[in-house]
Structure formats: C-alpha cells, structure tokens
C-alpha cells in the first residue's frame, strides 16, 4: 500500500494506522522536516517528498505512475 501525506495532520493519522509502515510514503512539500525524512529512510521506508507545490490530482498521477496497480491512501483514505 502506498501512502500520501498532504499535511502534518494527515501524516500523523497515517502513522497511527495498523498498516504502518507502508510500502512507500510520499509527502507534500513541507509536511516533514529533513531530519524526519532521513529517519524514515534509515528505518527502511521508501520516502519521496515533493519538492514543489503540486495539486492533489497531479501528485496522484505521479504516484500512480511510479506504483502502477497499487492502492494509494491519501491521509489515510482511499484515493479511489
């Protein structure tokens, strides 16, 4: 399962889910500090953080391009 956190609140919700840690985690710009991203990567989680403001639709397109056929959860909810 692929998780996309669009906000800090969304990230906090995701980390409380029973399916944590994810196969891959994507975050919107500024959701996590660099040190937090490094900690997650050191723990073996594949983390990608967008480096610029991206619309939700565009972000989901990019994520789905990288993870075809996998379910994407946005802030803990199915992206459909």
Tally of CB atoms within 10 A around 35: 8
| Whole-angstrom distance, CA of residue 49 vs CA of residue 5 | 9
CATH number, residue 12: 3.40.50
Provide the number of structural domains found in the chain: 1
Domain residues for the domain of 70 are 2-78
Q: How confident is the model over 42-51, as pLDDT tens digits?
A: 999 999 999 9
How sure is the predictor about 65, in pLDDT bands with cuts at 50, 70 and 90? Answer: very high
Token pair of 41 as six digits:
């990567």
Entry pTM = 0.93
Nearest partner of 59 among 11, 19, 3, 20, judged by Cα: 3
């Amino acid at each position: 399962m692929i998780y996309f956190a669009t906000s800090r609140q969304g990230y906090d919700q995701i980390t409380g889910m029973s399916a944590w840690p994810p196969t891959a985690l994507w975050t919107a710009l500024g959701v996590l500090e660099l040190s937090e991203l490094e900690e997650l990567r050191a723990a073996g989680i594949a983390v990608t953080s967008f480096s610029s403001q991206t619309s939700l639709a565009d972000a989901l397109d990019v994520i789905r391009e990288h993870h075809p056929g996998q379910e994407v959860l946005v802030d803990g909810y199915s992206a459909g």
